[in-house]
Amino acid sequence: MKIKTFKVEQWMNDYENDAVYNLGETCIDSMTLGELIELSGQNPEKYLAALKDKRMTYSHIYGSPELLNGISGLYRDILPSHVIPAHGAVGANHQVIISMIEPKDNMVSVMPTYQQHYSIPESIGAEVRILQLTPEKRFLPDLDLLRSLVDENTKMITINNPDNPTGSWIPEDVMMEIVEIARSVNAYILSDEVYRGISEDGSYMVSIADLYEKGISVGSMSKIFSLAGLRMGWIASRSQEVIDACRKRRDYDTISCGVLDDLFASLALANKEKIFERNSKILLKNRAILDQWVNETPEVSYIKPVAGTTALVYYKKDMPSYELCIKLLKDKGVLFTPGSCFEMEGCVRIGYAFDSKTLREGLDKFTELLREI
């Protein structure tokens, strides 16, 4: 099976360690284990000392009760039995697509999005139909276009909500229209929701798993929980067909997740409100810094992100995005992600959810480069 190079991951692998100002990072400012344990109200030294007696056997094959209860609590209508832990969201997305899609199928994927959603089904031999998101529609799906793309052989529609890289968020009324389109052809909806959970106003962010009986939500501890090092993700769905198919496949590529990943993810989920309070402050502060910079910099423009941790910023220079990002890294020490990693040009993805000083200085360095070109 041949598969295309994963452009965004290869870019980060090649260049992330060279950055002085890493604005390619998409996780909210990562926590240490000590911070997580303190946040849970426990003494880190005592807690970690007690772990010396933790036996390094397989964890619960389908996830511990604490983990499954914690994940199901992120949804309205998901039970612990509707949850399958995975090795990060990357493992969850792969497991869903490889379990549910066959060469005879077609599927619809939004673009831009995480490359798994179109390159994995292409590698299987399925037909992938692209639903292009545009700034003119604020990077929300064009429902008329979606209706024209589906037919009786459409097995799945995949969305990224909140969207990576644009930071758009599909409102519930639009989501319900997408559900009706999927239902009309009996298609699943796979929603990559790794950036879901922290809204601008603190309200609940509805999931596809809440809205649709054939909805499949993928989440992880990486982005909004600031715990990418745990490599813990999950699949959540009320569809028993999905649960059965993914568990069957899981015996071949997962077996179980790590016992320590499960333990610390359960601890974080039990204290999610404290983590969300911490991370909401970081997000809102830095989103305001990014917005002020865009408004004060005539060389750039964007559709302001309303969710997630990333923004797609357009620049007014006649230079390919890959070339621009290489020059920015070499000349200024700033890492962005080229728009070409998302099959787009004239733009870059900026991650803004870490320390504010790095963000401000990195954006200023980008302004310097744009004015030097």
Give the pLDDT score at 59: 81
Clarify whether residues 321 and 342 are in a common domain.
Answer: yes
Q: What is the pLDDT of residues 184-214, one digit of tens each?
A: 999 999 999 999 999 999 999 999 999 999 9
Is 49 within a domain?
no
What angle (nearest 5°) sits at the alpha carbon of residue 283, between those of residues 83 and 290?
Answer: 135
How many percent of the chain have pLDDT more than 90?
Answer: 99
Clarify whether residues 231 and 346 are in a common domain.
Answer: no
Q: Which domain holds residue 340?
A: 7-33+274-372
Clarify whether residues 160 and 223 are in a common domain.
Answer: yes
User: In sequence order, what are the residues at sequence separation of 6 or more whose Cβ sits closer than 8 angstroms to the Cβ of residue 206?
Assistant: 76, 172, 175
Clarify whether residues 168 and 239 are in a common domain.
Answer: yes
**175 pLDDT more than 80:** yes
Strands 215-220 and 233-237: antiparallel
- Does the pTM surpass 0.85? The reply is yes
Q: What is the pLDDT of residues 347-360, one digit of tens each?
A: 999 999 999 999 99
Q: How far apart are CA 189 and CA 213, in angstroms?
A: 9
How many percent of the chain have pLDDT more than 70?
Answer: 100
Clarify whether residues 322 and 336 are in a common domain.
Answer: yes
Clarify whether residues 282 and 250 are in a common domain.
Answer: no
Confirm if 190 and 97 have CB atoms less than 8 A apart: yes
Clarify whether residues 343 and 202 are in a common domain.
Answer: no
Q: What is the CATH number of the domain that holds 102?
A: 3.40.640.10
Q: Is the peptide bond before 338 cis (omega within 30 degrees of 0)?
A: no
Clarify whether residues 198 and 238 are in a common domain.
Answer: yes
Is 45 within a domain?
no
Q: What are the DSSP calls for 204-226, one per residue? A: ----HHHH-TTEEEEEESSSTTS
Number of domains observed in the structure of the chain: 2
Clarify whether residues 340 and 248 are in a common domain.
Answer: no
H or E element in which residue 149 lies: helix 143-149
Tokens standing for residue 198: 């922290």
Last residue of a domain, one of 247, 271, 295: 271
